[in-house]
Amino acid sequence: MATFNAVIGSLFGLAVLPFRAMNPWLAMIVISVLTGLLMLAVFRWTSNQEGIHRAKEAIKAHLLELRLYKDSMAQQMRSQGRILAANGRYILHALRPMLVMIVPVMLILIQLNLWFGSRPLAPGETAILKVKLAAGRSPLASDISVDAPAGIIVETLPLRIEEEREIDWRLRAAAPGVYDLTLKAGSDSFTKSVRVGGSLLAPISNVRPGPSFLDQVFNPGEKPLPRALAVESVEVDHPERRLPLLGLRLHWLIAYFALSIVFGFALKGVFKVEI
């Protein structure tokens, strides 16, 4: 999974590379266009285009019936039923491309979250470092400690929460940079990345996952922790990033869906795709 994540991450990084120093909206627009095209292509080649066309035409025809035969209750009911049936056929025809797309779209969303979900800590800001231990391990019996590089200050003693199998520290960002915190557990050690400051658009990993497959899928920003460590995850919650638009601060997911739908519909005629 780690290799797969690395490959996908590199591809995504490549797509974003020319826009990293620019307004994040640019990268978002480019990705939305590219994924809009990808979705159109998948839709074009995996759906029954003729079937979709017929279903849409049938819906239109029955809608017309509704307007023409307003005085006939029986006809109205029949037309309503046929619209429903045509809708059902339309959804069935769209199901296959949706099933085909669900995995790539999920991967795209996970990558987008890595790039647009969080922003670096600003100097002076605080964040919590959370180490979640594997099942059956007690934080009270753990000897995990943190070594912070210059640029990051560990402000508190460890807070050990038995019921959550968790050990927390408060970090304060002191100077811009990309840092690795080193966590030591006996003779073992592992790291967690923290990003402070900087204007470049960059992937920000909040969670370094443990060996669980699903955790690795959803947290592709860092290599998984070795199973021998008995650590389920290490987390530093960077602040949420929002995309500014006319005084609003949009969540990336809203921006992405709005843009990809707009581009999808704008380009469907060009590529002759029936949606």
Partner 1 sequence: MNRRDFIKAGAGAATLLALGPRADAVMRTAGRKATPRKVLILGFDGMDPKMTARWMSEGKLPAFKRLAAQGGFSPLGTSIPPQSPVAWSNFIAGTNPGGHGIFDFIHRDPKTYFPTFSASATEGSTKTIRLGNIVFPIKSGSVRNLRQGKAFWQVLEEHDVPATVFKIPANYPPVDSRQRTFSGMGTPDIVGTYGTLNYYTTESKLVNEDIGGATVHQVYVIGNRVDAKLPGPINSFKPDRPAAEIDFKIYLDPSNAVARISIQGQDFLLREKEWSGWKRVSFPLIPTQSVGGICMFYLKEIHPEVKLYVSPINVDPARPALPVSTPTSYGEDLEKKFGPFFTKGLPADTSALENDILNEEEFLQQDGFVLEESRTMLDYELGRFEAGLLFYYISSTDQRQHMFWRLFDEKHPAYDPALAKAFGGTIESTYRQADEILDRALGRIDKDTIVLVMSDHGFNPYYRSFNLNTWLRANGYLKLQNEFKEEDLDWAFAGTNWMKTRAYGVGLNGLYINEKGRESEGIVTTGPDKDNLVREIARKLEEFRDPKTGEKVLARAYVAKDVYTGAYVSSAPDIILGFNRGYRISFKSPLGRVPKDILEDNKAKWSGDHMGAAEIMPGIVLANRPVAAERPALYDVTATIMDVFDIEKPKEMIGSSLFKKGEPG
Binding site for partner 1 (CB under 8 A): 126, 128, 140, 155-164, 168-170, 237
d(C-alpha 130, C-alpha 167), whole Å: 6
CB of 269 to partner 1, least distance (A): 39
**Residue closer to partner 1 (CB basis): 186 or 247:** 247
**Residue closer to partner 1 (CB basis): 181 or 273:** 181
d(C-alpha 16, C-alpha 204), whole Å: 14
CB of 168 to partner 1, least distance (A): 6
**Residue closer to partner 1 (CB basis): 39 or 129:** 129
Going by the DSSP 8-state scheme, the letter that residue 266 receives in this structure is H
Query: Which spans in the chain are helix H?
Result: 2-16, 24-46, 49-68, 73-116, 213-218, 252-268
CB of 137 to partner 1, least distance (A): 16
Q: Which residues contact 122 (CB under 8 A, 6 or more apart)?
A: 173, 196, 197, 239
d(C-alpha 162, C-alpha 164), whole Å: 5
- Specify whether the CB–CB gap between 45 and 274 falls below 8 A: no
Structure tokens at 23: 């307004």
Cα maximum dimension of the chain? 84
**Residue closer to partner 1 (CB basis): 161 or 185:** 161
CB of 157 to partner 1, least distance (A): 4
CB of 164 to partner 1, least distance (A): 8
**Residue closer to partner 1 (CB basis): 114 or 167:** 167
